Amino acid sequence: MKNLVLEAGKKVWFITGSSRGFGRVWTEAALERGDYVVATARKLESIASLNDLYGDKVLTLTLDVTKQDQVQEAVQKAYKHFGRFDVILNNAGYSLVATIEEANIEELRALYETNVWGSVSVIKAVLPILRSQGFGHILGTSSGLGHLAYPVIGYYCSSKWAFEAIYESLSKEITQFGLKVTIIEPGAYATEFGSPESIKFSNSLEVYAELKHLFVGGLKEMKQGNPTATPNAIFTVVDSETPPLRLFLGRYNLPEVKETYTKRMQEWEDWKTIAEAAQE
């Protein structure tokens, strides 16, 4: 219903992966503050309760981001219903636990279909609308692992590196249209990210058993943040006239990334003479 009268000063959100984790937390938080939300998930029943709780403030839609026809249909339905978009939040994604040798190509294709191409499909579907509006803010849920890589989840990390590059390039391409881009980079949080819906495992090779045991043990010892503490940070970003391109969530990403980049810079400096000689 494009004739739906929206309350002044309230934003219209389009959120993927609204059924659990950050997606659910941010969907409910946006609705609680009085905004309007298009909540999407692969299984409509997983978000159906939002209709009873929030009425006309929410539109729930089935959306598997790996299906481009569904993406186009959901975006058009949402736009017809609310008449505009203020915030596009690409949140759908999952992790793959596998060493580089273990994962097969089909598993990698599936990972990228959701984590990278799914997000791109949403961006491509909404951009004509946002350009015609002359406003809009595209957010994407990446990770602190968009800047470094751990063993055993290297392919997941690689999907976030690709995600980061795409969004950074996008930000430079669409600023001319009055559009904004922000990459959200959470650290470790106590979400459902370890659930069967959010994490997949490749067949294991015995030679990596000890490495994987140590890695999983280390993950269990990591301090995890409370996801319900994050909405105010997201709201501050979307309400800002000059939002950042990147925003860490949590206390531990910045120190780890600083350490990683310090080592990288030192290694580049150490090999500077060899590198420059290659210019001749």
**Rounded average pLDDT over 138-166:** 96
Out of 3.40.50.2000, 3.40.50.720, 3.30.70.360, 3.40.50.170, select the CATH number for domain 12-249.
3.40.50.720
Task: For the chain, give every domain's residue range.
Answer: 12-249, 254-280
Catalytic annotation, residues: 142, 156, 160
C-alpha dihedral (98, 165, 42, 179), degrees to nearest 10: 170
Q: How confident is the model at residue 76 (pLDDT cuts 50, 70, 90)?
A: very high
Q: Which two tokens stand for residue 55?
A: 């009425």
Q: Which of these, 45, 50, 33, lies nearest to 87 by C-alpha position?
A: 33
Output the average pLDDT for the chain. 93
**Rounded average pLDDT over 193-198:** 53
pLDDT of res. 47: 97
Q: How confident is the model at residue 29 (pLDDT cuts 50, 70, 90)?
A: very high
**Rounded average pLDDT over 145-165:** 96
Q: Which amino acid, residue 132?
A: S
Phi/psi of residue 144, nearest 5 degrees: -60, -20
Give the 3-state secondary structure of 67-131: CHHHHHHHHHHHHHHHCCCCEEEECCCCEEECCCCCCCHHHHHHHHHHHHHHHHHHHHHHHHHHH
Share of the chain above pLDDT 90, in %: 85
Q: Give the global pTM.
A: 0.93
* C-alpha to C-alpha distance for 195 and 255, rounded to whole angstroms: 28
Q: Which two tokens stand for residue 249?
A: 């969530």
Give the 3-state secondary structure of the chain: CCCCCCCCCCCEEEECCCCCHHHHHHHHHHHHCCCEEEEEECCHHHCCHHHHHHHHHEEEEECCCCCHHHHHHHHHHHHHHHCCCCEEEECCCCEEECCCCCCCHHHHHHHHHHHHHHHHHHHHHHHHHHHHHCCCEEEEECCHHHCCCCCCCHHHHHHHHHHHHHHHHHHHHHHHHCCEEEEEEECCECCHHHCCCCEEECCCCHHHHHHHHHHHHHHHHCCCECHHHCHHHHHHHHCCCCCCCEEEECCCHHHHHHHHHHHHHHHHHHCHHHHHHCCC
124-133, 181-190, 197-206: least confident range: 197-206
In the block, tokens 């910045």 appear at 254
pLDDT in tens, 86-109: 999 999 899 999 999 999 999 999
Q: Which two tokens stand for residue 74?
A: 């959901």
State yes or no: pLDDT of 1 exceeds 50: no
State yes or no: pLDDT of 198 exceeds 70: no
State yes or no: pLDDT of 191 exceeds 50: yes
Phi/psi of residue 76, nearest 5 degrees: -70, -40
pLDDT in tens, 223-271: 888 999 999 999 999 999 999 999 999 999 999 999 999 999 999 999 9
Phi/psi of residue 278, nearest 5 degrees: -75, -5
Beta-carbon neighbour count of residue 192 at 10 Å?
16
pLDDT of res. 216: 79
